Homo-oligomer: A and B are copies of this chain.
Amino acid sequence: MQADRFFSPDPAQKTIAQALYDAIKALPIISPHGHVDPRLFVEDTYDWGSPVDLLIIPDHYVFRMLYSQGIKLEDLGIPRLDGTPVERDHRKIWQTFADHFYLFRGTPTGIWLRHEFEEVFGITEKLTSDNAQAIYDTIDQKLQSPEYTPRKLYERFNIETLCTTDYATSSLEYHQQIRDSGWDGDIRPTFRPDGIVQVNRPDWRDNINKLSDLTGIDIVDYKTYIRAIETRRDQFRALGAVATDHDVSSREFYRWSNEGMERIFANALQNSSNLDSQETIFIAHTYMELARMSAEDGMVMQLHIGSHRNHNQPLFDKFGRDVGADIPSGNQLLTLKSNFLLNEYGNDPNFRLIVFTLDESTYSRELAPLAGHYPAMLLGPPWWFHDSLNGMRRYFDRVMETAGIYNTAGFNDDTRAFPSIPARHDVWRRASADWLAGLVIRSIIDEDDAHAMAYDLAYNLAKRAYRL
């Protein structure tokens, strides 16, 4: 990989970008939001399985691209819900992957994989049909060596803090075990209450029961439900949690009457799948309560808005969630729909709201103006389909003039692929350096400001945003 990769070609700009990048490239990684499995860090050792177990089966960025070109998920070893056997020959799966590696030309997945191959596994050749098995061997051997345990990689990656994402009903046992183990890595849970808030989910009633068990609070009405959530948040905070996270699809936030909420809750306890329009009210009001809790207990509230989950029903029926079929949808009307929430809590200095979007048309139109006004609100980094070089460029382009960088939350990698974390932060740091160099070369900012901003974007903003 070239030392000046991803920088703009103009030699003068590139020199500035390189200097900015060199000053921040070795900063510790703050990873305040992501989906790494905490089990990785419970013990000194960990069994990664094969290269396919590491790089293909858990990574829907990878296998959805192969699927889009007609390769069956079964042939990539993705497990079926009904237990029908799928391909188990990982060398064959790896060969298929290598044969189609050209599909990733010019994509962020291509960039991350190259980075992982070279920086994590020392492989500098491009993956081809011919060298596929040899590269498989190299990765396979390294995965079994003592330098490649998650804890060792955590240290080698220079991670300062890593936050996972955990259901409200998660036992948090692995987080407890990590703390008990005496290892000094900073792994923190994040409170994700979708399963107890999205009242229409088939598992809602079960989740309420679990919440009762975990908190010792008998949930009999909306009042006890709210108290149980508060208690559960305390339990998360006791294990280091600094934030909550919410997959927001309804995008409505408003308050209902106490009596009304009690009535809906009573109905939901009877049959939560039959609430009709009450569901929207339930969620809208409960988000207001969650915001109130954040204003009180200081946990940062993250809203991830705009994913249409499980768009491909036949695939969902066979393989379940997270198979690359979550598709963004537009028409967010954030300005309108955030009105009640921001009016009630947006001016509160103890409340912090970080908003992520999949609708880039709202960057300059709604999100940057909102974040550039409300003290409580920060704008999260480019998310998911947009955490790429172009996505970052569009984000810098459309957000920063109105919000300034100081109303943004720095970077987070949002990944479940642990070994891709350095690659993702490196892309952000390079993109930041290049953007700032563009401002310097156009005399919009001076080099002193650029250095301060590069440090903030790479490290400080994320730490400050999440109160770490």
Chain A residues near B (Cβ < 8 Å): 1-2, 4-10, 12-13, 64-65, 67-70, 102-108, 110-111, 126, 308, 311-315, 324-325, 327-333, 335-336, 339, 342-343, 346-347, 349, 358-362, 364-366, 368-375, 385-386, 388-391, 394, 397-398, 400-407, 438-439, 441-446, 449, 452-453
Interface pair B406/A401, CB less than 8 Å apart: no
Interface pair A331/B329, CB less than 8 Å apart: no
Question: What residues of chain B lie closer than 8 Å to A442, measured between beta carbons?
Answer: 5-9, 389
A162 nearest CB across to chain B (Å): 26
**CB < 8 Å neighbour of A390 from B398, B441, B453:** B398
In Å, the complex CA distance between A452 and B444 comes to 27
Question: What residues of chain B lie closer than 8 Å to A324, measured between beta carbons?
Answer: 372-373
Interface pair A105/B311, CB less than 8 Å apart: no
- Given A64-B372, A68-B372, A453 and B106 contact (CB-CB distance below 8 Å): yes
Question: What residues of chain B lie closer than 8 Å to A339, measured between beta carbons?
Answer: 311
In Å, the complex CA distance between A442 and B402 comes to 28
Interface pair B68/A313, CB less than 8 Å apart: no
Question: What residues of chain B lie closer than 8 Å to A346, measured between beta carbons?
Answer: 312
Copies of the protein in its oligomer: 3
Question: What residues of chain B lie closer than 8 Å to A439, measured between beta carbons?
Answer: 106
Interface pair B126/A446, CB less than 8 Å apart: yes
A34 nearest CB across to chain B (Å): 20
- Given A9-B12, A406-B103, A442-B9, A68 and B375 contact (CB-CB distance below 8 Å): yes
A403 nearest in chain B by CB position: B68
**CB < 8 Å neighbour of A106 from B68, B329, B360, B404:** B404
Question: What residues of chain B lie closer than 8 Å to A347, measured between beta carbons?
Answer: 312, 314-315
Q: Which A-B residue pairs are the 10 nearest by beta carbons?
A: A5-B443, A329-B335, A2-B443, A361-B361, A9-B10, A9-B441, A388-B401, A328-B365, A327-B369, A70-B375
- Other A-B contacts than A70-B375, A311-B342, 15 sampled, CB-CB below 8 A, are A4-B443, A68-B375, A68-B403, A103-B406, A104-B404, A105-B404, A105-B445, A105-B449, A311-B373, A314-B343, A327-B373, A364-B391, A369-B385, A388-B402, A390-B398
Question: What residues of chain B lie closer than 8 Å to A333, measured between beta carbons?
Answer: 329-331
In Å, the complex CA distance between A110 and B442 comes to 14
Question: What residues of chain B lie closer than 8 Å to A329, measured between beta carbons?
Answer: 333, 335-336, 365-366
24 A-B pairs with CB atoms under 8 Å apart are A5-B444, A8-B9, A65-B372, A67-B373, A70-B349, A105-B404, A105-B449, A107-B401, A107-B404, A308-B335, A311-B370, A311-B373, A312-B373, A327-B370, A329-B365, A330-B333, A330-B335, A330-B362, A330-B365, A330-B366, A361-B365, A365-B385, A389-B444, A394-B398
Question: What residues of chain B lie closer than 8 Å to A386, measured between beta carbons?
Answer: 364
- Given A312-B342, A342-B312, A361-B361, A111 and B335 contact (CB-CB distance below 8 Å): no
**CB < 8 Å neighbour of A373 from B64, B105, B360, B391:** B64
Question: What residues of chain B lie closer than 8 Å to A328, measured between beta carbons?
Answer: 335, 365-366, 369
Question: What residues of chain B lie closer than 8 Å to A342, measured between beta carbons?
Answer: 311-312
Question: What residues of chain B lie closer than 8 Å to A108, measured between beta carbons?
Answer: 401
- Given A2-B443, A13-B9, A362-B330, A67 and B388 contact (CB-CB distance below 8 Å): no
- Given A6-B442, A339-B311, A405 and B69 contact (CB-CB distance below 8 Å): no
A328 nearest in chain B by CB position: B365
